[in-house]
Structure 1
Amino acid sequence: MTWTTQPRSRSGQLAAIIKGTGPKVLLIHGVGLRAEAWTAQVDALAKDCHVTAVDMPGHGESSRLSEGPQGTGPGLAGYTDAIVAILDEPAVVIGHSFGAMIALDMATRHPGKVVAVAALNAIFQRDTAAKADVRARAESLDGVTVADPTSTLNRWFGSDTSAERDACQGWLCEVNARGYRDAYRVFASRDGPSEEALRSLHCPALFLTGADEPNSTPDMSRRMAALAPKGRAEILPGAAHMLPMTHAAQVNEILKHFIQDIAK
């Protein structure tokens, strides 16, 4: 499939692709991407749902968030609060990678706005080496020049060429350098939801990742699901980090059933 730029609606400083009618679904992409990364999910879910795929602050057509104290950049709560503000009623919130971190934070701190949460390729309690690697990558970003996306693309896709890889390369090369740095620093500084937050998560929670995912590992998803009272984990064979794009048909079926089960 192709990932062409789609028209946006605006809500304050944020832009979003909005399609369909029915139960509310909110999609939040990961660092360096944009709402089009969810194209396959928007097309599939909008047949039965009102779907909003938001451009994360500082990405796509959304404005950056304000700096924190002493120019420290926004924190996780800043991203979560900016995105939850576009919801006029409770929604099923689905996030990928950093978007999953935001989605879980939203479900924890704004439970009245979250009917259920699906965390795709979510991190949880990184090991020492993984923490060092992601923090080193964050520290290498200067917020002025666009980072060479090659190493990122190799982590996500390996060395093989594909339409999915080409689409992500384009987005990573076009992203606002400062917006990318801000988001990546938050992603690197956090270790996913706390165990306490997961235990307090009383809405249905799906934790989905790829069997070949080295960073947001299957073990992470299983441990989070075990802690959440209504949690469950699903692991896609042969999939890695960009499974919403590379394994769209399987992901769409899983998400459709998740949303249908909530409505029963």
Structure 2
Amino acid sequence: MMSKTLRLSDGQTAGLIEVGPKDRAGEPLLLIHGVGLNARAWAPQIAALAATHRVFAVDMPGHGTSTPLPPGATLPDYVSWAARVILALNAGAVNVAGHSMGALIATGLAADYPELIRRVAVLNAVHRRTPEARAAVTARAEAMAQGTFDAEAPLDRWFTRGPADATPRAQVARWLHEVDPAGYAAAYRAFATGDDVYADRWEAITCPALVLTGDGDPNSTPEMTRLMAATAPRGRAVVIEGHRHMVNLTAPDRVTQALRDWLGTPLMAETEGLRA
């Protein structure tokens, strides 16, 4: 994997992993991770999909080597940032896949910048939280803003304590301890208030849309996944049994296959051509 620094139109920089030569025939694929992590969280998918696509995995603002957004940034600010990243890649319209907070950003890209997006995939996304879930995530955001953070709490939500999850859990724990606390807290606040920002936009997202989660994810539930997919004109829901929030690390082969299927879905213009 090759790491680089991408300079954006506003002068800010974004840390990026890029795999695949620039003349690769495959379509570009942009991967956006979740809060507290970094571009390396997509390692299994980067390795597998680089054989057929030019893959870019970006560090979110305030994570990895990406500069943070201004204080008080909301989800649409992160979406605008991601649009600037796509333009700076100079690769044309991209396929975009996001996980957790990255999934909310990917949804916003498909809603606000459809000309930049070929297909959208959202993994372990939240959608219209219950009042109880909203209160819990808001409380966590406020605690982070005050400098209180217990890394074991998200790990227990994201993984089981069984031996099958031990290796990815340990890796994610290291990333959580590496992340800049201010960058994490800022993104988490946007994440906490972002579950309904684009909730009404799914029916207007007409590109192929994959919506995926694990059946044991207590916050990004199968019900949310099925609702988003059912609302999108070209949506498809995938629920992977026996896994939680970090399903791309705990079930990498199954997630990668779902992404391969999604990347093979014809675009609208191609579909119309087949009907002609």
The TM-score with structure 2 as length reference comes to: 0.88
Q: State percent identity of aligned pairs.
A: 40
Identify which of 172, 178, 193 aligns with 1:174. Answer: 178
Identify which of 140, 145, 166 aligns with 1:142. Answer: 145
Aligned residues: 253
Deviates more, 1:104-113 or 1:145-154: 145-154
Matched letter for residue 251 of structure 1: V
CA–CA distance in structure 2, aligned partners of residues 127 and 196 of structure 1: 16
Alignment partner, residue 111 of structure 1:
114
CA–CA distance in structure 1, aligned partners of residues 175 and 68 of structure 2: 16
Alignment partner, residue 200 of structure 1:
204
- 1:45 is aligned to 2:49: yes
CA contact (8 A) 2:127 2:199 kept: no
CA–CA distance in structure 2, aligned partners of residues 192 and 236 of structure 1: 24
Matched letter for residue 77 of structure 1: P
Alignment partner, residue 6 of structure 2:
11
Matched letter for residue 57 of structure 2: A
Q: Give 1:262 shift.
A: 3.1
Identify which of 242, 249, 252 aligns with 2:246. Answer: 242
CA contact (8 A) 1:146 1:173 kept: no
Deviates more, 1:191-200 or 1:179-188: 191-200
CA–CA distance in structure 2, aligned partners of residues 211 and 75 of structure 1: 29
CA–CA distance in structure 1, aligned partners of residues 197 and 263 of structure 2: 22
Q: Give 1:86 shift.
A: 2.1
Partner SS, residue 210 of structure 2: strand
Q: Give 1:122 shift.
A: 0.6
Q: Give 1:260 shift.
A: 1.5
Partner SS, residue 85 of structure 1: helix
Alignment partner, residue 223 of structure 2:
219
CA contact (8 A) 2:157 2:217 kept: no
Q: Which runs of 5+ in 1 are unaligned?
A: 1-5, 68-72
Partner SS, residue 39 of structure 1: helix
Deviates more, 1:193-202 or 1:164-173: 193-202
CA–CA distance in structure 2, aligned partners of residues 126 and 255 of structure 1: 25
Q: Give 1:55 shift.
A: 0.4
CA–CA distance in structure 2, aligned partners of residues 236 and 207 of structure 1: 11
CA contact (8 A) 1:100 1:119 kept: yes
How large is the Cα RMSD of the aligned pairs? 1.5
Alignment partner, residue 154 of structure 1:
156
Matched letter for residue 157 of structure 2: R
Q: Deviations over 1:166-225 (max 9, x none)?
A: 111011011011100000000001224544311111111110011111110000010111
Partner SS, residue 261 of structure 1: coil
CA–CA distance in structure 1, aligned partners of residues 174 and 53 of structure 2: 29
Q: Give 1:78 shift.
A: 1.6
CA contact (8 A) 2:100 2:123 kept: yes
